[in-house]
């Protein structure tokens, strides 16, 4: 059986692409940070708008890129930046509980992330 016919092979390919997608969201947030550092908020907002991003989206993506705990758990994370942002607002206890319950996973949505918040 060739490697391309292996379940392990394809699972690895899928996981590699998923990680690349999540890392792409982090990288976009880092690029927004870099733009703000170089030219200030006005340049960031103008360039972001030209690229199709609103201020709220830019700020959410920046928050995602700053999250160290998420950067350490990339394989568990969803590739939706809205869901990723929802995870950034969890406090440490909510984050730990969600990890322990396997509630953080690649298929989760923004709504799923919101449900992890305690009242």
Domain ranges of the chain: 3-115
The pTM is what? 0.85
Query: What average pLDDT score do residues 90-119 get?
Result: 95
Structure tokens, 110: 């923004």
- Report the half-sphere exposure of 81 (CA within 13 A, side-chain side): 19
Quote the pLDDT of residue 19: 87
Cα separation of 14 and 38, whole Å? 36
Contacts of 6 (CB under 8 A, 6+ apart): none
- Max distance between CA atoms of the chain, in angstroms, equals 57
Cα separation of 113 and 111, whole Å? 5
Structure tokens, 50: 């030209």
Rounded percentage of the chain residues whose pLDDT exceeds 90: 82
Quote the pLDDT of residue 9: 92
């Amino acid at each position: 059986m060739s490697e391309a016919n292996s379940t392990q092979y394809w699972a690895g390919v899928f996981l590699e692409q998923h990680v690349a997608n999540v890392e792409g969201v982090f990288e976009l947030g880092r690029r927004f940070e870099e733009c703000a550092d170089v030219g200030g908020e006005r340049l960031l907002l103008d360039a972001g708008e030209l690229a199709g991003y609103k201020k709220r989206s830019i700020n959410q993506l920046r928050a995602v890129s700053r999250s160290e705990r998420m950067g350490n758990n990339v394989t568990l994370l969803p590739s939706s930046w809205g869901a990723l942002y929802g995870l950034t607002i969890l406090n440490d206890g909510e984050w730990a509980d969600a990890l322990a319950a396997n509630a953080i996973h690649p298929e989760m949505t923004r709504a799923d992330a919101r449900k992890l918040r305690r009242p």
